[in-house]
């Protein structure tokens, strides 16, 4: 397949490198500098290098005969990227973003090609412009937002060591992940602890339970089932720092708007715990910006 991957962050590099072993992958990056670096040296993961064709995003109109687009930019960058891409895309587009804000945006669009949303369960951390550390091997799940191509695409992309799995219900797939992110990400960032600490201290766990309840009620999910899923994720990633915690430490913008912000946008009842973590993360981000101008 001819696959265009948009985004040179950790997930974009991971997807481009893993799929580049079996498909013709073109990676579109934000900057000319990153594009040149990858073109010269390839993408480095776990001691191996994968060569992929790369170019900056503002040159993407030059790409022809594309089978599928995979968009790996952060949620807060997606709107601008999509405004450009939708004028040129003629084949299926896959969106691999955290949160669910993008579904509100995309469901308003009138396009003829399939739009597919994905849930990335891998852990990955970008070390430099062309290197990542694959911190957790899992799967990428795909579901149809519009059209009916996700099952076929998952089968075409699936590899034993880099699985793609089809999910029939996009809302259940993304909602389950959103609820987990709405608990783990802000709390570990506020408390400045690794994931496992949320279950190691009864006081932390009580707040986590309340956040889970608010998110589950808002999205229409069963609370007990969601809390069991969150406990499983925390135990499996107990030694990890959440992506939001790492973003704040590095002085980067967080995805709080697309996680807790989405719950606030859709809540029909009071959600005091979610409001608290939402405004706390905004405050911590501003504090970090002042510390690291």
Q: Looking at the annotation, which residues are catalytic? A: 177
- On whether the CB atoms of residues 108 and 86 are closer than 8 A, the answer is no
Quickly tell me which residue has 């997807």 as its tokens.
Answer: 15
Residues contacting 81, CB < 8 A, separation 6+ = 6, 57, 71, 73
Element (H, E) at 94: strand 92-95
Determine the 3-state secondary structure of 43 from DSSP. strand
């Amino acid at each position: 397949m001819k696959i265009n991957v948009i985004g040179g962050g950790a997930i974009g590099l991971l997807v481009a490198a893993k799929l580049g072993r079996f498909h013709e992958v073109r990676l579109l990056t934000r900057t000319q500098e990153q594009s040149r670096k990858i073109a010269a040296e390839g993408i480095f993961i776990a001691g191996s290098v994968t060569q992929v064709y790369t170019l900056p995003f503002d040159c993407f109109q030059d790409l022809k005969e594309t089978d599928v687009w995979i968009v790996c930019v952060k949620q807060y960058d997606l709107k601008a990227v999509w405004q450009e891409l939708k004028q040129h895309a003629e084949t299926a587009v896959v969106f691999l973003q955290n949160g669910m804000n993008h579904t509100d945006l995309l469901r308003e669009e009138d396009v003829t090609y399939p739009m597919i949303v994905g849930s990335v369960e891998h852990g990955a951390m970008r070390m430099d412009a062309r290197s990542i550390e694959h911190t957790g091997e899992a799967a990428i799940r795909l579901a149809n937002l519009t059209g009916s191509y996700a099952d076929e695409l998952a089968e075409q992309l699936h590899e034993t060591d880099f699985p793609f799995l089809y999910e029939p219900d996009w809302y259940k797939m993304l909602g389950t992940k959103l609820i987990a992110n709405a608990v783990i990400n802000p709390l570990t960032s506020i408390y400045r602890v690794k994931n496992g600490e949320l279950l190691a201290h009864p006081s932390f766990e009580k707040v986590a339970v309340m956040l889970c309840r608010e998110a589950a009620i808002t999205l229409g999910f069963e609370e007990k089932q969601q809390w069991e899923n969150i406990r499983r994720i925390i135990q499996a990633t107990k030694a990890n720092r959440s992506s939001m915690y790492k973003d704040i430490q590095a002085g980067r913008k967080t995805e709080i708007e697309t996680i807790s912000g989405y719950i606030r946008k859709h809540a029909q009842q009071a959600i005091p715990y979610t409001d608290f973590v939402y405004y706390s993360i905004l405050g911590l981000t501003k504090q970090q910006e002042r510390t690291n101008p």
